[in-house]
């Protein structure tokens, strides 16, 4: 493969790399969102829109326009936003150039390692093999000969130990990322449309036709079962792997309990739905939509009798293209998030007591008063979202 320097000097929104950006309050409508991604700490929702990049801060309700000509990005583990050719620090608004010397437009990209020091690609006449490169110099780290026929999709597991490949003949391959690769084939005529790893890299969600998701346990090499009733244009795992959400362009969303294969929630938007993302503590789901046009394709039959009033939506003032929904709120969910927040024991005990006595107004008051040093901002946002959803649910006739 040829090595290519894709960037020597980058200009984004008339701002040079290394120069500090300046955010500004919203002054243009946000009606078409392409992506919505939570930061690892849940403090920021990065919104990629047709007019640029926006940051929404859920605990304050503030939304800032950050950068033009950027349609979103991917968060790194250390809390920076990767926007293709640079990393954006959300705290300092500094851009740090990223040059991938292994880039080649003639190969099929799989993805980057967590530290972005490695890139994995598919190559060959039928994209049937895998290569892993050092992004800093373009040197080949590893070639993995698969040679099982044409591949149609690929996904690198979050722990970077294995790849999932779908083949044109309908099979699925799990390939270890090693010099002596182990290849496991699942020839069940899957013909997968999309494959997504769980956050821990053990399970694989396989989007099939006919409104079906199949879950594979790659450790035990067994299927957990099928999740039915949703076309899967986008698939998202909750951080703890207990829930999975799938959506279609027509605006339909289904959320399942993975352990029982039961539907937790169904929801139908009235706009094109491009992207969904669970918050880091798993209580909310962000939706990125195009509200400027309605889906011309028929609404999925599986969503024909959905009661959207059962779904609580956290409002974002002045923003139509992004919704934050709270699927299946419950006191149990509120208590589990409280325990996961890592607050001081005396604070956790007080909050738990308020949940147990259904004193949610006092609960929201206490959580709102906690500072960022006392509670992670993302956990605070999720606690308030679930509590507000329960309060709203109790007020329904």
pLDDT of 35 higher than 70: yes
Q: What is the pLDDT of residue 82?
A: 94
To 10 degrees, what angle do helices 360-369 and 377-395 make? Answer: 160
Q: What is the pLDDT of residue 141?
A: 95
Q: What is the pLDDT of residue 295?
A: 63
Mean pLDDT of the chain: 85
Q: What is the pLDDT of residue 21?
A: 54
Q: What is the pLDDT of residue 1?
A: 36
pLDDT of 127 higher than 70: yes
Of 26-30, 82-86, 89-93, where does the model show the most confidence?
89-93
Q: What is the pLDDT of residue 109?
A: 83
pLDDT digits (tens, 9 = 90+) for 165-175: 999 888 899 99
pLDDT of 270 higher than 60: yes
Distance of CA 166 to the CA centre of its chain: 21
Model-level pTM greater than 0.85?
yes
Q: What is the pLDDT of residue 384?
A: 95
CA distances for 339 relative to 334, 342, 347, 350, 375, angstroms: 9, 7, 10, 12, 11
Q: How far apart are CA 266 and CA 218, in angstroms?
A: 28
Q: How far apart are CA 30 and CA 48, in angstroms?
A: 10
Rg (CA), the chain: 22
pLDDT digits (tens, 9 = 90+) for 237-265: 999 999 999 988 788 888 999 988 888 88
């Amino acid at each position: 493969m040829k090595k290519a320097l894709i960037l020597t000097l980058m200009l984004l929104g008339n701002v040079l790399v290394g120069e500090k950006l300046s955010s500004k309050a919203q002054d243009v409508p946000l009606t078409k969102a392409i992506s919505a991604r939570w930061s690892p700490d849940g403090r920021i929702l990065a919104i990629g829109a047709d007019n640029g990049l926006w940051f929404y801060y859920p605990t304050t309700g503030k939304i800032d326009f950050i950068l033009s000509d950027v349609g979103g990005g991917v968060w790194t583990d250390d809390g920076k936003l990767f926007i293709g050719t640079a990393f954006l620090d959300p705290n300092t608004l500094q851009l740090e150039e990223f040059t991938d010397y292994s880039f080649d437009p003639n190969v099929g990209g799989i993805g980057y390692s967590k530290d972005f020091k490695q890139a994995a690609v598919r190559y060959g006449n039928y994209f049937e093999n895998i290569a892993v490169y050092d992004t800093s110099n373009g040197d080949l780290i590893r070639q993995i000969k698969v040679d099982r026929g044409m591949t149609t999709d690929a996904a690198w597991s979050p722990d970077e130990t294995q790849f999932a490949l779908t083949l044109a003949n309908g099979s699925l391959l799990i390939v270890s990322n090693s010099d002596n690769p182990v290849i496991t084939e699942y020839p069940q005529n899957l013909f997968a449309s999309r494959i997504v790893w769980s956050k821990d890299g053990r399970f694989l969600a396989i989007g099939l036709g006919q409104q079906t998701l199949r879950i594979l346990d790659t450790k035990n090499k067994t299927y957990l079962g099928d999740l039915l009733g949703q076309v899967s244009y986008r698939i998202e795992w909750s951080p703890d792997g207990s829930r999975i959400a799938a959506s279609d362009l027509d605006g339909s969303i289904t959320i399942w309990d993975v352990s029982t294969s039961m539907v937790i929630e169904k929801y139908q938007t009235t706009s094109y739905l491009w992207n969904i993302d669970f918050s880091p503590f798993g209580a909310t789901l962000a939706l990125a939509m195009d509200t400027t046009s309605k889906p011309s394709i028929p609404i999925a039959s599986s969503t024909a009798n959905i009661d959207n009033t059962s779904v609580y939506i956290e409002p974002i003032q002045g923003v139509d293209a992004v919704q934050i929904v709270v699927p299946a709120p419950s006191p149990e969910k509120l208590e589990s998030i409280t325990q996961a927040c890592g607050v001081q024991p005396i604070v956790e005990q007080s909050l738990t007591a308020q949940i147990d006595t259904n004193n949610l107004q006092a609960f929201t008051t206490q959580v709102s008063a906690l500072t960022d040093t006392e509670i992670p901002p993302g956990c605070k946002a999720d606690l308030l979202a679930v509590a507000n959803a329960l309060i709203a649910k109790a007020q329904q006739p």
